[in-house]
Structure 1
Amino acid sequence: MTNPTIPTVTLNNGVTMPQLGFGVFQVPDEETEAAVSAALEAGYRSIDTATIYGNERSVGRAIAASGVPREELFLTTKLWNSDHERAVEAYDASVERLGMEADLYLIHWPTPGRDLYLRAWEGLERLYADKRVRAIGVSNFLPEHLDRVVSQRGIVPAVNQIEVHPLLQQRDIQAADTRLGVATEAWSPLAKGGALLAEEAVTAIAERLGRTPAQVVIRWHLQQDRIVIPKTVTPARMAENLDVFDFDLTADDLAALDALEDGTRTGPDPATFNGA
């Protein structure tokens, strides 16, 4: 399968982004260019990276070499925690590494112990006002962080990228996103594979539909209107993860996956994470 039609999500400023994209978290820099090149060849048009991932240069090289027109792509990168007081300069450095401007720029973590995310958001608002980025948003923000940004700053975040999968659904954050008009984007959407994809509720649905467990979980996200960015460096799995638009889960299927919630995190807790 090549170049599937990927649905888009319209953000709160009217910008559209693909609902299914490709993430490069924990992809080593030396493997990133090949992985992103393969993803673009498979049909992905949204690429998600971050300063802290250390692979922005390789993402940029893959995009430049792909031959895909820049206007057909949606590129996200993120502001790291130690740069909250110098967001514009940090973005400039990301642009230099990527070789291009981003479409979406996110504050990676609120780091509440540092309490500088409002200052960071002010920098992102400057970038947006200067039309350096098409949209600005946040990542790992809890409802109280979102409410504070919305009440004290001028622009509502377009996206909140949070850890979501059947084992950790964070419905309180998703509800806050919906209340404020913020799109929810799921990172670690497959919970790093393994235990989740072996759950009987997942495998039974996959067997009945003739699909893989990963496809079932990705479909669960899509039918609940989340943006999703699964990661893999295997081209066959890249294609498999895109092949999810010609089937539907039933209401019972969705409920069975919802019932898997057990609070299992694959990453830090944003209420306490303050890493620099």
Structure 2
Amino acid sequence: MRELKTEQVRVAYGENVIIENLSLEIPSGKITTIIGPNGCGKSTLLKTIGRLMKAKKGVVYLDGTDIYRLSGKEFARKLAILPQSPLAPEGLTAEELVSYGRYAHQKGFVKQSEKDREIIRWALEVTNLSALGKRSIDHMSGGQRQRVWIAMALAQQADIILLDEPTTYLDVAYQLEILELLENLNKTQGCTIVMVLHDINMASRYADYLIALKKGKVIGKGTPHQVITRELLREVYQIEADIMIEDYSKKPVCMSCRLCRSKEIDTAVVETAIV
């Protein structure tokens, strides 16, 4: 099991500070989901942990080592990150894209070994893509393309997978398909999954652990039952939410909500769950 944590991390875009003095530990072998309003620092935190952004101060530790003391390949063998809406070269097949995940395990320009090919086949199989390996990803649905990217991360054989809004632009059926795939991978492969989601009900249903951010600070963390509460949602999202326990998952869900009254917002009412 990998150990991943941040210590007094400060992240900024120029003079605009997004995250200030943030310290947290990611539970190993669990699904952790980061939630919060737009601009609160969710994606910035994920990019910082995944070494796509460097903190102005503080340290991200992976197995007790500063992530910047690890070589690129060593880091990639331990942690994979899928940014929001990733792009692939035109005409690439699913099998070719998944093969990129083996780069961290190869030396120089050595061709794929039989072990590489075996792992690529396995990654396609567990993501239900075996029949689509030779198909161009340009000719795939959004859900299929997302599964190909996840297969690439699996081929990387990293124990930790970070995903930034993996269900963005997908309809409900494809969202469920992706989240159930990640849940199954966590259970069967034991990998630690950390993702950013906007939909708090999906986050509650599929996460073991939630981190709620607001203005770059952790407002709440813990199990869905500890985080998806009327009080915390009021503080984080400025909404008055009606919470109930879903029969299927036994997790808390937001059935309806309305904006908190203020000088700026007085009568607006939202009758659907927050996304």
TM-score, scaled to structure 2? 0.34
Higher helix share: 1
Higher strand share: 2
Larger radius of gyration: 2
TM-score, scaled to structure 1? 0.34
